[in-house]
Amino acid sequence: MSSQIYHAIARRKLNTLQSLIPKNWLLDPLPEPLPLDVRPLVPKSTVLTPDELSITSSHDVTSLSQLIHSRALTSEAITTAFCKRAAIAQQLTNCLSEILFLPAIERAQALDAEYKRTGKTRGPLHGIPISLKDTYNIKGYDSSIGMASLAENPAKENAALVDILLEQGAVLYCKTNVSQTLMALDSHNHLFGRVMNPRNRRVTAGGSSGGEGALVAMRGSVLGIGTDIGGSVRIPAMCNGLYSIKPSSQRLPFMGQEIGQLPGIDKLGLQASAGLMTTSVRDCELFLKAIADANPWEKDPNVAFGSWEGQGEIRRKPLFGVLRADGITTPLPPVAKVLYETVEALRTAGFEVVEINAPGFKKYHSLANSFFGMGGFNHTFDLLERTGEPLIPWLDTRLRRKSPADLMQLSELHVRKSTLEKEMLGIWRDEKGRMIDALICPVAPHPVPEIDRWNGVGYTSAFVVLDYPAGTLPVRDVSNDDLMDELPESDVLGGWDSRNRDLCKLSSFVSPIILSCTPLLHVLNTWFPLPSGVEAVVNPVLQDYTDPSKTGHPNTNDRSVYLNTKLSVQVVAPRLQERRLYQAMALIDEVLHGASSESP
């Protein structure tokens, strides 16, 4: 089929998206070239008033809700501020797929009028603007998931979670960009283009909920809702330095989403979860409790019955376990270091942390991949071929039509899954038989990598197979010292490990000193133009450093790319124990960050 079809659809979608941003909200002109870190451009623009800048920069959901309840701020003021900042974020990171700014402001006005008239709010989410991943159906808007054949076909009804959010008084104001087909780890598609990481444009924003991650990192959203079946909430949270929780699959309503698969086939394999990304750990509790209190099982029969208080808790003196590696990819030095620092901080604070040895853990990698491919990807290719749309380059080398699994093959996968589930129950007891409250491990075996260079999802997909709730917790920025650490001498575990080690190698023509100085040179050159003689030497380095199109070449590894990115850890709890997970994350966050953990 002619490629003109998908090109035409993409042009119309982009034109519509652009037209929905008010002209006085446009950054004119956009800086050329954009700096690596685009976040400092926000306060320099004239789009936001000083009050709007404060609203979007200085608060989380918890504090905004308190201000609405006390009448110190209106929902209209808050919603307008976040709509404006989302518009800025779109221009700088390409993070949006659908814009609902005008109806959102009108809804906020109606909620303010209702509160003034009745003296009652609808709940903790009353008047709070919330952004949603493109998968969530909102009546009257597309859920195209980055595929032309699904565009220009507005949803006829809301997803179950959307209805609950509206009943709780939330204001929905945008949907966010994703990876084509939801199967890539970098949010890139032919409809809207690539989502850029606002902290560092050379590295990935993650996928498939990368638009949510970039928007929240830009403070264009205070709470973003995504989905996760391999790491699609936790990975963008790590990439963008955010808090996230992927609950067990039966905890939040998932019904009513576009996932690009044949209806019902997702019930035969791994179960995806609705999840969230926030700027503070306490907002995770506020959101999860608000949904639990709304009786979500009445909207989606797949949701488990139970109150927030019934979702587990850690003991007064919790015992933590640490899983340092999955047996497939050895964590690179910065990842191993930040995990060590987290464990030692807990021990210094008086908490016991025991080493977890789970030899069966590495089996989950191949099992998860088998489940992901059980349908043969044929429906995906059918959707693409309707408009002549090609796969994005990252998927083009990984996705092929194949025969779907038959009944016996599918049964065998579930037998393997059940066997491993039983085996992994042992991780919740230490050698003395004591119960472990929560597990700490890497989110990935590498820091946030360059665009299109994420190396596998073994550390996140395992907890989808097990259906354990898991969260990302940001710890600290990558430092210059982290760039100097060498990978310890050890045997290469296989192809995945070999590719992971490539992300740690220094390029042959760039010294560690230059690596550590390059970001500083970039900043200096941005603000203070260099003398012409110095500029002639420095500019070629800076051009290569700031041009995202030059990333990903296997012979030009540059560790300085990791600067201005966050190092995170993953925290895990037993199945359906989201409150236990939150409490563990809050405790770890307080140990690491102190009082700052209670605010953005």
H helix runs in 59-199, sequence order: 61-69, 75-93, 101-118, 160-167
Catalytic residue check, 133: yes
d(CA 138, CA 122): 20
According to the annotation, is 232 in a ligand binding site? yes
CB-neighbour burial class of residue 156 (10 A; exposed 0-12, middle 13-18, buried 19+): exposed
63 given a catalytic annotation:
no
CA–CA dist 501, 489 (Å, integer) = 11
> In DSSP terms, which residues pair with 131 in a beta bridge?
224
According to the annotation, is 549 in a ligand binding site?
no
Q: Which of 232, 248, 273, 461 is catalytic?
A: 232
In the annotation, is 337 catalytic?
Answer: no
**Residue 231 assigned ligand-binding role:** yes
Backbone φ and ψ for 131, nearest 5 degrees, come out as -100, 155
Give me the sign of the Cα torsion angle 533, 534, 538, 542: negative
DSSP string, 406-454: -HHHHHHHHHHHHHHHHHHGGGGB-TTSPBP-EEEE-SSSSSS-BTT--
Query: Could you tell me if residue 478 is left (phi over 0), alpha (psi between -120 and 50 degrees) or otherwise beta?
Result: beta
- Please identify which of the residues 84, 133, 175, 299 carries the catalytic annotation: 133
Taking CA atoms, 357 is separated from 93, 323, 343, 430, 463, in Å, by 41, 7, 16, 10, 16
First to last CA, the chain: 49
Q: How far apart are CA 18 and CA 52, in angstroms?
A: 22
- 184 vs 62, 267, 286, 402, 543, CA distance in Å? 33, 21, 30, 18, 27
- The most distant pair of C-alpha atoms in the chain lies apart, rounded to whole Å, by 71
- The annotation status of 208 as a binding-site residue, yes or no, is yes
3-class state of residue 471 by DSSP: strand
The token pair at 118 is 């009745």
From the list 143, 187, 208, 209, the catalytic residue is 208
What residues form the annotated binding site for substrate? Answer: 182, 208, 229-232
What residues form the annotated binding site? Answer: 182, 208, 229-232
Instruction: Please give the positions annotated as active site.
Output: 133, 208, 232
